[in-house]
A and B are shown apart, each in its own frame.
Chain A
Amino acid sequence: MQIAIDSGGTFTDCIYKEGGALKVLKVFSTPGNPGTAVMSAIRTISNGGKATVRHGTTVGTNALLERKGARVAFVTTAGFEDIISIGRQARANLYDWFAESEPCIVPPDLRFGITERTAADGTILQRAEEDELRDLAEKIRAAGAESIALCLLFSFANPGNEIAAANVLRELGLPLSLSHVILPEFREYERASTVTVNAYLSPKVGGYLQRLDDEMQPLSMQGAFEVMQSSGGIIPARFAAEQPVRTVLSGPAGGVVGAYRLALQSGFSRIISFDMGGTSTDVALIDGAQEGPRTIGDALVSQLPISVPMLDIHTIGAGGGSLARFDAAGIMHVGPESAGAAPGPICYGHGTQPTVTDANLILGRLHPDHFLGGTVKLDVSRTRSYMEKALGPLATPEELSGGIALLAEAAMERAIRVISVERGHDPREFTLVAFGGAGPLHACALAKALRMPRVLIPAHPGALSALGILLADTVRDYSKTVMLKSNVDLEPQFKELEKLVNAGTADSAIPSTVLRSLDLRYAGQGYELNVPAGTDFLETFHRTHQKRYGYADERKAVEIVSLRLRVTTPGEAVHLDAFAPGDGDASQALLGAHSMIFDGKVETGKVYQRELLEPEDRLIGPALVVEYSATTVLPPGWTGFVDDYKNLLLEVSQ
């Protein structure tokens, strides 16, 4: 048995397979100790037999966002102790004299230097004295550190000095994060930041996963315990405990993988996932025609560079709760300020400033009686009366609402352009997979603006992330900065890197595939493009450069900056069963009619209950499809179709 569990802010979602069918269990989260909800779900589901548990956790994410990690001692080459705080010496806001920056996660009294040095070519210029390392260990003990991040200059070129220091510091018995292990790549600040975040999270995440593992033991399940990484791949929980920096986007990665796998099953391999919630929106592009889910190595999470592979998820601070306002010169803005959970939108009963959710209500795109299964009634008259006070130069709440929706959609559109057009992908070739509480409300408008042919609203929208975790492959990433000319024989280098793989996966019985790739650039450039390490890697590089940046120069020398290995072990095949088709008529799901506004015109559309729709049912816009956790809007001119897996497919009718 396989159980996938995704811890969210409100619900802990579980998906598991029983008797051939996928089952969903939702329990309330226990934010104080997320493990309580996880264990209660496991106890409910577990039948005493052998089970593999896969987990998407926000323990690391939250510790990072709330700055509640460990007291980290940052140890580096003497003279560079402050680099963890200086960063790249630039300010975040060009024109704001009053902007504050987040305090460094390593306070000044926890930054330490070692008198040692390695050169760019790996030559050790100076080794640390044993006495100095002993003194350092004593200082770290005295400073009350709970975790250690060790990042010496050029340790990726030769880890000798870092290993020597680690051997002494290990005696302190604290979690030790080593830069040549976690990220053997150049650029000291980005590497130091990644290693420091790892050290910052490891006591908390390590302890959490250990406790869960301990609690599972008495259940005599004997199966594997695994964790979702930000890269969209699964790793054993013990690796996640050692390298928690790889899990900071565990939950969102599950959503992206879930969206991709569901879409693949329905026949769409090129998707843009669109997950719009209350305060933020995540978008990602996955091109199954090329390499599938794409990872990046230069992510910024909560203002900190994290350079281990992460799915290329672009997050913007706009969602259903984003506030609308007019500025001194009469232009309207939506966000970045949000009404949050308190006071929330006007229509929930406490807020006083218009939000995107309020606009959707006024436009008839949210039904006041069918929100969260009817448990929350949305207050239309309260919303209208507060909107009347915030009209600016506009005449009616309807006009204001139309504008709010348009601006919110423009922000979403820009986010999608960043991950598509800006990366050389044409959105017209992709299917938009929309989920999250607000995604299906705006999906059609967005698809139209980007001229995307199709929208897919997945079945199980509330447990999509858990589904992704269940279906994901096991993936381990290895890398090393080498700085080589393009004509050298890479085989010995890759062989060296593959030794790490054999050490790490000796316990796995399932055969793995190993994908080699290269980070390349024209000699002298500062950024690299990652291409597969085939015999034609140079051609691929020139072609990709031309596509992305508008030129290529085949006469120029190409430099191999880093080697990468990705080891993938396919997850246990979980086949989603198709449902029996219905009669093609959706009338069994019809709840009634509702008036809606599109482009300033009032239209009347039907309202359907999502859970009652059957495969082959067809819908015609304007229409609303309501379900517990979301509402889907079909504007006029759109048609809907329920596929065999109960996904909702929306297209513009010809």
Chain B
Amino acid sequence: MEHVMTRTIPNTLSTPFKRYFLRWETFLLLVTVLVFFTNTQISPYFLDPWSLSDMTFNFSEKAIIALPMAMLIICREIDLSVASTIALSSVCMGLAAQAGFGIEVIFALSIIVGIGCGLFNGFIVTWFNIPSIVVTIGTMSLFRGITYVILGDTVISDYPPEFAFFGQGYVAWVISFEFTLFMILALVFYVLLHHTNFGRRTYAIGNNPVGALYSGIKVNKHKVVVFALVGAMSGLAAILLTSRLGSTRPGIAFAWELQIVTMVVLGGVSILGGSGTILGVVIAVFLMGLVTFGLGLINVPGIVMNVIIGAMLITVISIPAVLARFRERRRRSV
């Protein structure tokens, strides 16, 4: 979405205290610790290692997509078709499994289909200069629609037995493969966004696309690459989810895109682009995981959790806006 975006230039540089303690990430971490503590109080089963391990299965797949999605939102684009990409990748895996292909082919195919979907979005957005929210609303129907065309109302569940490892396996003791993969990818994306030229360019594009273009950054090419990254991670998430469920149906991962965008925005990534960190997104992932798990422990139904997550999203985004408003008023009255 194009929004009028303005930024107030501070007249003093922020002090180290402000830099470290008044950051969004610190605030999020505080809330997360609070929720963790609350969870230990409401249920005696919460602190059990296996129960904590179960919790990681609930968010790891979405979290893996949230990482590149953060980069995409930072460079002022968005991808609402991720859940449909998961469905399409999953169907392609299912067809490959039915045809008797081995696990390597199934794995590679899912990633390739994911990248293909991402490239499709990226090319349409950049070639025709169309807002990504519109394009990906379209591809969201298109990709999901193709899975309905292929599957109808049938289910594919002929996966080879060793395929179950990706979504159900453990690396060591209670540490699941999914969670390990997420932590590794979080590190990879942290380095990519915060310690490489590629990451700096992402911020540059998000802060001022025209300026970035005139500085010699290939803005369109960069965006296509980030779209492809989102696609690739959606393909990977499709492998994990399909393996965990052991089956593919056309409604798989329905409405996940909104939860993923919520994770990213909650993590402090500005929906207007240009700012946000991977650390923030990772903390937000844990926060959402803890909230939903804690609510699950006290038997709150999923749809009511959505009410709480929706309210959390709006509240948390409103706080800095309201604070800025107060600060502005105080500054002007002096």
Pair from one complex: no
